[in-house]
């Protein structure tokens, strides 16, 4: 029987530290499963354990803490990339037998990757991983299923029980429906997509919404024009925050936190908990700005900045009950 489901979802454009939050929650050993519900190896989650950095792209972060890690039916899987990731985790001593793939997940082929590189990468700033062509074939009912390609030992038996933690990929403003179309990902990033794993929405207990103390964006998007990469102050912030994509290595464009957009994302996702990551970076940078009601606001101190965010959350009518201003690489 399924008891409770908690979901970790991004409230901006990805790259907000969801992997850190999933790892922090999973290490408490309170969950029986950690599951991905959408996307593929276009995602990139970074986890620090005892100061050592690890990266995953498709495997959920539960594997770092001995928790069953499920790649769900809404995901798309590149078998070669998955095998490389499993070998990587195995080399570091993690129990890779915990990793299972839904038999209903779709397979990314070499043809998908080649098409992505040739037609989409430059135009839309994709990661060239074949994700969009794979989802297109899924919708056209011409795709390949994991059950027909992957070894049986790797397939999930589709059983869920106990307490479940769902690990989101990408970000709210990359969602196929809510993002700045067509500069979006090819799947749903909203937390309700996690129900495709096989549980009813009534089981959802907490939704952890994740953002950063400033905004970043990888890839092409008119909302993050190229001039941001050339802005002297924002470039220094990006350098201090080591803002480079986990999957592509591309430099991320930085901008000040858009509080209006973050609050909209929190409202639509139904976030109950908010984590604002990289507060340590902003503190060290010493410049505290955000956009609210269409205006750029500047604060004298970090305390004024963080208090303003908390006050606006309290007044916006969202479901958020707990706010964490986080500045640590391994914990909230």
Which residues carry out catalysis?
15, 45
Contact 183, 221 (CB under 8 A): yes
Residue that the structure tokens 């953002």 belong to: 211
Contact 272, 323 (CB under 8 A): no
Q: Residues in the chain, how many?
A: 332
Q: Show the tokens assigned to 169.
A: 């990929």
Phi–psi pair at 290, nearest 5 degrees: -160, 160
Distance in angstroms (rounded) separating the CA atoms of residues 297 and 312: 13
Measuring CA to CA, how many Å separate 76 from each of 16, 58, 108, 179?
Answer: 22, 9, 6, 20
DSSP notation for 249-267: -PBPEEEEEEHHHHHHHHH
DSSP notation for 216-227: EE-S--TTS-TH
Continuous segment of H or E residues that includes residue 273? strand 273-277
Surface-to-core class of residue 19, CB atoms within 10 Å of its CB (0-12 exposed, 13-18 middle, 19+ buried): buried
């Amino acid at each position: 029987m399924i008891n409770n489901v908690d979901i970790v979802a991004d409230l901006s454009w990805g790259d907000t530290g969801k992997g850190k939050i999933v790892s922090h929650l999973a290490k408490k050993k309170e969950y029986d499963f950690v599951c991905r519900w959408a996307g593929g190896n276009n995602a990139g989650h970074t986890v620090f354990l005892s100061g050592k950095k690890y990266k995953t792209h498709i495997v959920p972060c539960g594997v770092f803490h001995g928790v069953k890690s499920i790649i769900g039916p809404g995901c798309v899987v590149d078998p070669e990339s998955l095998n490389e990731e499993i070998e990587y985790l195995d080399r570091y001593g993690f129990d890779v037998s915990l990793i299972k793939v839904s038999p209903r997940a779709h397979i990314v082929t070499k043809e998908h990757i080649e098409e992505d590189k040739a037609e989409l990468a430059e135009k839309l700033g994709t990661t060239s991983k074949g994700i969009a062509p794979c989802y297109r074939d899924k919708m056209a009912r011409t795709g390949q299923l994991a059950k027909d390609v992957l070894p049986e030992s790797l397939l999930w038996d589709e059983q869920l029980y106990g307490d479940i933690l769902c690990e989101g990929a990408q970000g709210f403003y990359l969602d196929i429906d809510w993002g700045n179309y067509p500069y979006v990902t090819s799947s749903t990033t909203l937390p309700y997509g996690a129900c495709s794993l096989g549980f009813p929405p009534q089981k959802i207990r907490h939704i952890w919404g994740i953002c950063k103390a400033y905004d970043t964006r990888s890839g092409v998007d008119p909302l993050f024009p190229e001039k941001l990469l050339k802005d002297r102050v924002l470039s220094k912030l990006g350098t201090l925050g080591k803002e480079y994509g986990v999957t592509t290595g591309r430099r991320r464009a930085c901008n000040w936190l858009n509080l209006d957009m973050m609050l909209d994302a929190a409202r639509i996702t139904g976030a109950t908990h908010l984590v604002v990551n990289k507060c340590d970076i902003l503190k060290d940078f010493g410049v505290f700005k955000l956009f609210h009601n269409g205006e750029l606001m500047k604060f004298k101190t970090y305390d004024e900045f963080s208090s303003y965010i908390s006050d606006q959350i309290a007044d916006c009518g969202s479901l958020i009950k707990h706010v964490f201003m986080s500045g640590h690489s391994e914990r909230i």
